[in-house]
Structure 1
Amino acid sequence: MQRDMGKGRDALVVCSDKSLGIGITIWDVDTGDHLLHIPTCASPSHGLLCLRKQFLVASQIHRQGSVGGGAIFIWALNKPQLPLRSYPVEAIVPLSCTKDGIYLAGGALSGNAYLWEIASGRLLKTWHAHDKSLNCLLFSNDDSLLISGSNDGMICVWSVISLLDTGDSGSLPSLLHYSSEHRSSVTGLLNTSGSSSSVLVSSSLDGTCKVWDFVSGRLIQTQVYPVAITAIVLDPGEQLLFCGSVDGRIFVNRLDIGLLEDPFFVAQAQPVVLKEHNGAITALAFSESGLISASEDCTICMWDVVNWVIIRKFSHRKGAVTNMTVIPQSSLLSVSNRQRVSNQLHVSMLDKYPQPINSSKGKITLPSSCCSLKEKQIYLDFRSTDSLNQHISDFQKDGTPAAMQMKVETCIENRIWASRMTKHVMEMNKHLQSRLLDLMQCRLLWPTEIDTPSSRKRKMLKIESPLLQGEEEPQSST
């Protein structure tokens, strides 16, 4: 695998959502050679990403009759056979990370969104972002904004600063603005990285691609297509927009936003159309060699974007590709075979629930309500390589269908327990508020009857007042 991994060579990473057994396949982009297979992965669309060219992160959805079963797996690319497994409180679909690899965002089928700190695994924020399931998540190029697209056609822009405000875990993040211009599910989000870094491109099943200034929320341009758009990508020069459709066609339009100010402007130019796939386009990506497209027909094509011809074809016979990303082949080399870097990224198991702010950094105690007696005795420092490998090995042994079902059941039990505790806390707050109102009312009605030393003295003076006024005390007869 390592013999031809020269500097500058790309590797193509693909996975399906059909079965955990299919896993991740990695090819050499230039030669088509099979480089590596990573078992146990079934990731939904937008659920796979490469973290700082050091880790692969994939959300998992288990379809064996379980709506609550889901996980996030993290593989070290230099040793990818044993993933670090995390089990969020609900299934996560899209993932996105900041450019520096510090934060990871995930979106759920319920419309909830989550933000983790990757090094410590701490869950920083969870909030209800959309009314329907999240399909796409994207951090802006400066990592100051998080953009979310949903099955309800909504696009929301959130301030990352407000997401990092952990002073009040129940506080809502700052929603800068939102858009409901799309009439169907949002299928893709892109951010330009050039001089106009505030430009956002979105695609939808309504057959449109829209160009936004996402800082102000202003719609700049709308491109209309005859069919639903399922995937989008920009060329490295950010001049051409490639739009994959539900019928297998790829439309190529020039992204010429210029100084357009009319939000109702609709692009009329006839795009170039690439046609080779027989199923819906599921993913688009660019490598140094050209455009790469994946389809439900289980094929992956590499295109020469100058002559508009196919350079190479890959066959993924194990199922339709739902996720695709391009990484440097050098990332697959072991640490001993490549130059060690000082900014090596550390990852930890992601928390299921928010942890106290003053908890030990980089450490986690497994919740007693959802762990076996053996797991309760485990206390891990995730910055230790030996303990991390031991933890990964334990999860690998438990990775059976029965174990997964048990984890789902305990997850449901934890949610029921959390609901009961929430109800109990609300009742306690209501009782305390009632007591406080009663005390305030008593103080307003009888302000002089409060039992204090001065009030007792006044009472004694009232009792002795007849004597002080000169009245004689009755003499008892002898």
Structure 2
Amino acid sequence: MEVVLASSSLDGGIGCWDLHTGAEQLRYKSCSSPSHGLVAVGPRFIASSQLREPSATSGSVLFWSWSKPQVEVKSFPAEPIKPLASNHLGTFIAGGALSGDIYLWEVETGRLLKKWHAHLGAVTCLVFSEDDSLLVSGSRDGTVRVWSLFMIFDEFRGQLANNLYEYSFSGHTLCVTDVVIGNGGCNAIIVSASEDKTCKVWSLSRGTLLRNIVFPSHIDSIALDPAEHVFYAGSRDGKIFIAALSTESVASNNCGMHIIGSFSNQSKTVTCLAYSMSGNLLISGSEDGMVRVWDARTRTNVRVFKHAKGPVNNILVVRRENSSNHISSNVQTSSRKQGANLPPPLEKYANSIHEDSDMNTTITLGGDRSSVDLSYLSSHVISNYVKELQHQGSAAASEMETEKLKHDYQRAMQMANQWKKMYENLNKFCVKELLDGSQARTLDENHN
């Protein structure tokens, strides 16, 4: 079953509907989420950051199990968290802070694995790549940055590098409102939206701007067509624009260039977008509190859901399956005895859990992917995960590493050629000096 989740900045809870029948499912209570602050953590949990006021100096992260409407785990990070992102298996959760820092936690133990300063301004959006080796962040300072988990957790390389990020895209002049990443590992494209009324398409392999699209209104949300021929942009004038994608480097500042259409039946801001490949459906959330389902081919509205309260600012499309397909029998038995197998609260500071308090829990968090048994070791989980990704040869990381090696090889060859030329010049000079000295001695002997 494919469901739509929607939340609001007001305390309207989290609405849940069957995408294809329209039937309302369980409504989750007590949620006031900021934009990009709602995430499905694997197939077992829902998590949301909480900011009661935009200028709040503290906040929380809440967890719900799918089967109960009440909040079951409350976490209080060291500072307010706005955007959240989870890797596909639901083993890690990343949070972006108002200070510009990014936090990365292990879900099963709640351990804070890493924290680093990512942007000068507040982090506004976060997304993992399809292979989970890269994390892309957008900020209020207008930058979009790409982070490799290999670099983040490799302290030796991190000390040698000038920057921890792989790329820093700084083409936007105002706050970044949304970021999406396509398929293809390091050959993927990144599309970013900003309050400067532009969406920019970036090449992950080249690290360059491919396309700049100027819109007649502010864009707050974007969604990629799975085939990546077009992307959809939700605007503050209530329209959903369709923009053409291309790998060609065609940057233009002409308003309307590359916009091939638009559709809407509303006048309020389109605050969030999501795409379902099942039936080619586009789902939009709006400031008017409505969730609309669109047929992407015909651009017609096929279904409408009403959120309980306030403007909708987050939309998720999640495929739910029976828990028996995801949770091993021993965990099910434990769950029946002790309730849902929920994670502990997220740590406020790093290393606040004693190293000897390792816990081993085998569960499956497969999502849409094939189920994989994972053994969580709280003190070594991230290093093992990175080693596994490296062993499997993550396309993004491998190709980036290859490019770096090529660059290093070229520099080494240039230095070798320079040394070779210097050696040849020195050799010629020495030979010349020896010959000149020999000739001078011969002339002296003949003269005497």
Q: Equivalent residue of 1:161, what SS?
A: helix
Aligned to 2:183: 193
CA RMSD of superposed structures (Å): 3.0
Q: Is the 8 A contact 2:186 2:205 kept in 1?
A: no
Are 2:214 and 2:253, in contact at CA under 8 Å, matched by a contact in 1?
no
CA positional deviation for 1:360: 2.8
- Give the 5 Å matches for 1:52-63: 52-63=42-53
Q: Which residue matches 2:351?
A: 355
Larger Rg, first or second structure (1 or 2): 1
Alpha-carbon distance change, 349 to 164 in structure 1, aligned in 2, over 3 angstroms: farther
Q: CA 1:384/1:251 → structure 2, altered by over 3 Å: closer, same or farther?
A: closer
Structure 1 residue 143 corresponds to structure 2 residue 132: yes
Give matches, 1:95-114, under 5 Å. 95-114=84-103
Distance 1:221 1:98 in 2: 28
Residue 169 to residue 241, structure 1, CA distance change in 2 (3 Å)? closer
Q: Helix, strand or coil: the match of 1:36?
A: coil
Secondary structure of 1:163's counterpart equals helix
Residue 70 of structure 2 aligns to a residue in which SS? Answer: strand
Contact kept? 2:197, 2:217, Cα under 8 Å: yes
From 166, 184, 192, the equivalent of 1:202 is: 192
Identity over aligned pairs, percent: 36
32-41 vs 72-81, which moves further: 72-81
Cα deviation per residue 1:20-57 (whole Å; 9 max; x = unaligned)? xx211111222222211111111100111112222111
2: CA distance, partners of 1:212 / 1:384: 39
- Determine if contact 1:200/1:214 at 8 Å carries over to the other structure: yes
* Cα distance between partner residues in 2 of 1:198 and 1:169: 24
Shift of 1:153: 0.7
Matched, 1:162 2:151: yes
Please tell me whether residue 242 in structure 1 is matched to residue 246 in structure 2: no
- Cα distance in 1, alignment partners of residues 165 and 55 from structure 2: 32
User: Which of 318, 322, 328 is equivalent to 2:319?
Assistant: 328
Contact 1:240 1:255 in 2 (8 A): yes
The gaps in structure 1 that reach 5 residues or longer are 1-8, 364-381, 386-478
Alignment of 1:5-404 (within 5 A): 9-19=1-11, 22-63=12-53, 67-165=56-154, 174-194=164-184, 197-257=187-247, 260-262=248-250, 268-287=257-276, 288-289=278-279, 290-330=281-321, 335=323, 338-342=324-328, 347-355=343-351, 359-362=355-358
Q: 1:61 to 1:169 in 2, by over 3 A?
A: farther
| Contact 1:346/1:383 (8 A) holds in 2 | no
Call closer, same or farther: CA 1:80–1:268 in 2, change over 3 Å.
same
Q: Which runs of 5+ in 2 are unaligned?
A: 332-340, 364-448
Deviates more, 1:316-325 or 1:213-222: 213-222
The offset of 1:280, in angstroms, is 0.7
**1:339-365, Cα deviation, whole Å (9 max, x unpaired):** 3544989733211001068613447xx
- Over 3 Å counting, the alpha-carbon distance change for 1:38 and 1:357 in structure 2 is closer
Task: Map Cα deviations across residues 85-109 of structure 1 (whole Å, 9 max, x no partner).
Answer: 1110011000112223222111111
Answer yes or no: is the 8 Å Cα contact 1:304–1:311 preserved in 2: yes
- TM-score, normalisation: structure 2: 0.71
Superposed CA deviations along residues 272-313 of structure 1, whole A, max 9, x for unmatched, are 111212211111112224111111011111111222111111
Amino acid at match of 2:34: P
Q: Which amino acid aligns with 1:12?
A: V
SS at match of 1:126: strand
